[in-house]
């Protein structure tokens, strides 16, 4: 791995360590039972992951729980959801055994992204005079998506020498629809639950499961169509070559 990529990973790890230290210092859950249930469901959602074509990364449904966590839980609890989700997403039934550095970066990346989303989603709406759950989730979703796709694209670019612009565009193209629908589901669930009705809010689980199944089928269908198109193009080239000879 290039030295620049190693330095970048170390820097993100240092930021994540500072965030986790602050989260541990501020740890004081208001309702540990509700948080434990929410955390457990978030980890289940983290196992519902989709491999992105052409990229050595995946996305999962834990994004929705992070967004809801921004509005319902404390900084420390939300960061723990992000870190736990990253570890489950990396280690639960991977197609290939992940390297330690990959697990480390994924955990650090989601920790930093979650912390940044939490700070921005609470600071900016307060400045603008709005502290509603919708405002918090909107700002949090924007910050999280930009940071997450950007940080992942940058580490791949540094490690493999590929164009950052191309990787970021490719990552954004595949993840944006999923994040957009997830954000909408999170917002509707939170609004229906009026912020604190966990029984209603957690209806997000079956909703996101159907979104996950559909998006997974959509990606699989797209990949198969691309393979089919390439195969047809190759057959056409071979047929043309045969007629020429």
- Tell me how far apart the 2 most distant CA atoms of the chain are, in Å: 78
Mean pLDDT value across residues 79-106: 89
Q: Quick one: fold of 3-215? A: Arp2/3 complex 21 kDa subunit ARPC3 (1.10.1760)
Mean residue pLDDT of the chain comes to: 80
Q: Is pLDDT of 232 > 50? A: no
Rounded distance, CA 221 to CA 47, Å?
21
Sign of CA dihedral 163, 167, 173, 179: negative
Q: Is pLDDT of 46 > 70? A: yes
- More confident site: 32 or 219: 32
CA distance readout (Å), 235 to 222, 225, 232, 244? 20, 15, 5, 14
For the chain, the structural domain boundaries read: 3-215
Rounded distance, CA 222 to CA 191, Å?
34
| Interval 124-166: pLDDT, tens | 877 777 667 777 888 888 899 889 889 988 998 998 888 888 8
């Amino acid at each position: 791995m290039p030295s620049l990529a190693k330095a970048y990973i170390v820097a993100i790890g240092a930021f994540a360590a500072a965030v986790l230290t602050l989260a541990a210092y501020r740890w004081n859950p208001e309702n540990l039972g509700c948080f434990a249930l929410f955390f457990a469901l978030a980890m289940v959602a983290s196992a519902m992951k989709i491999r992105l074509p052409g990229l050595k990364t995946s996305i999962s449904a834990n994004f929705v729980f992070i967004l809801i966590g921004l509005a319902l839980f404390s900084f420390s609890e939300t960061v723990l959801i992000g870190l736990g989700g990253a570890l489950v997403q990396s280690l639960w039934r991977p197609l290939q055994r992940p390297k330690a550095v990959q697990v480390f970066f994924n955990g650090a990346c989601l920790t930093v992204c979650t912390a940044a989303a939490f700070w921005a989603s609470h600071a900016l709406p307060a400045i603008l005079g709005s502290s509603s759950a919708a405002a918090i989730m909107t700002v949090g979703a924007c910050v999280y998506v930009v940071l997450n796709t950007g940080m992942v694209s940058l580490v791949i670019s540094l490690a493999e020498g590929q164009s950052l612009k191309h990787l970021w565009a490719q990552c954004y193209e595949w993840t944006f629809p999923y994040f957009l629908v997830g954000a909408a589901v999170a917002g509707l669930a939170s609004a229906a639950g009026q912020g604190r009705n966990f029984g209603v809010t957690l209806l997000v689980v079956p909703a996101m499961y159907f979104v996950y199944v559909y998006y997974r089928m959509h990606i699989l269908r797209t990949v198969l169509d691309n393979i089919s198109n390439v195969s047809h193009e190759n057959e056409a080239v071979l047929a043309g070559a045969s007629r020429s000879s």
